Amino acid sequence: MRIGELAARVGVSTHVLRAWESRYGLLTPVRSPGGYRLYGVDDERRVRDVLALREQGVSAMEACRQVLAAERAGNAATGLADADDLAASGSDGHRGDPLRTDPPLLVAQLLDAVTALDEDRAHAVLDTAFLDRSVESAIVDVLVPFFVRVGEMWELGRIGIAQEHFASSLVRRRLGALSLTWGIGTGPVAVLACPPGEFHDIILLSFGVLLGRAGWRIRYLGPDTPIVSLTSAADLVRPDAVVLASRRPSGFRAHAPALRRLAERYPLWLAGRGTTPRVLDEITAHHLGPDLVGGVAELTTAARERRRAGAEAPSATPTDSEHRS
């Protein structure tokens, strides 16, 4: 069958199939007389076996390795190994290591694709990042360093506004697919926003995805949010945390009085390079550092302690004895 038919049968995109073929040697197509690559039932079986392992949390790289190793072991047990198997596996019976998908390599590949405005290649790199790594690792180890490099390259004049906007749009769409469950559940509530004049929110959006995966319900207001609107939203949902991110201290200091009042009513966390000691002192807010995973744990612990303290606080409702007296 052609790769499109194989993709439809197993429920995996053709791009993913090509990646598993080129990187891990999972598929072994043959050429038709017309030059088309044709795949057989063995290819379909391998893909289904990999998908079964993926559902158990095994990375794509490791799943392909296990499936191929099991097939080689079965062939050896039944005497079916041939010269092609041995040539592919090497003298010790093991295939060569697949193309490494280390984060620095993925970041470099993604930068190269974005610089060329090559959307298909950029999505291919993102597919690899999210298939071979956990969502947390793909975000923390690939996307965050990638956007740091995009910012550095833009400041140095090595890329233009077009590439920066292209990168933001590309990743925003990918992260958006991970935010569909933000309103589901009974976990703590967080309001996330950037202050007026701050338009760079990809890292904040990434943090929202990680919070959501930890069970939080997210109310995402995004970039350039008026403080009065942020306050109104907080009063409406009564969050367990308000997270405000800015790259410049002025993004916070210009609204210090209003933010101080907000911090008196709800736990306020400031994030980004604009979070200086002076800003934190003026606004009396909490500091959310650059470690996104650590930040999720910190907010979760604080929310749990706050709820526990609220539950243990004495009730203002009069007791039966007070009523009788």
Q: What does residue 218 show for φ and ψ, rounded to 5 degrees?
A: -105, 135
pLDDT band at 85 (very low <50, low <70, confident <90, very high): very low
Q: What does residue 116 show for φ and ψ, rounded to 5 degrees?
A: -90, 0
Strand-pair category, 30-31 with 37-38:
antiparallel
DSSP type of residue 180: T
Range of the domain at 74: 3-89
Task: Indicate if 245 and 263 belong to the same structural domain.
Answer: yes
| Amino acid identity at 117 | L
Task: Indicate if 107 and 204 belong to the same structural domain.
Answer: no
pLDDT band at 134 (very low <50, low <70, confident <90, very high): confident
pLDDT of residue 36: 78
pLDDT of residue 319: 45
Identify which has the larger pLDDT, 287 or 125: 287
Highest mean pLDDT among 67-71, 78-82, 135-139: 135-139
The overall average pLDDT reported for the chain is 85
CA of 29: how far to CAs of 17, 38, 225, 228, 229, in Å?
11, 5, 53, 61, 57
Burial category of 57 from C-beta neighbours within 10 Å (exposed 0-12, middle 13-18, buried 19 and up): exposed
Task: Indicate if 112 and 212 belong to the same structural domain.
Answer: no
pLDDT of residue 75: 60
Task: Indicate if 191 and 297 belong to the same structural domain.
Answer: yes
What's the rounded Cα separation, in Å, for the pair 323 and 33?
94
On the question of pLDDT at 143 being above 90, the answer is: yes
What's the rounded Cα separation, in Å, for the pair 192 and 244?
6
Task: Indicate if 148 and 232 belong to the same structural domain.
Answer: no
What's the rounded Cα separation, in Å, for the pair 181 and 178?
7
Task: Indicate if 224 and 303 belong to the same structural domain.
Answer: yes
Rg of the chain taking only CA atoms, in angstroms: 26
pLDDT in tens, 3-43: 999 999 999 888 888 888 877 788 888 877 777 789 999 99
Task: Indicate if 73 and 171 belong to the same structural domain.
Answer: no
Residue 72's CATH number: 1.10.1660.10
Task: Indicate if 160 and 190 belong to the same structural domain.
Answer: no
pLDDT of residue 315: 56
If DSSP codes are grouped into helix, strand and coil, which group holds residue 103?
helix
Percent of the chain with pLDDT over 90: 52
The answer to whether 198 and 246 are in contact (CB under 8 A) is yes
On the question of pLDDT at 321 being above 60, the answer is: no
Burial category of 293 from C-beta neighbours within 10 Å (exposed 0-12, middle 13-18, buried 19 and up): middle
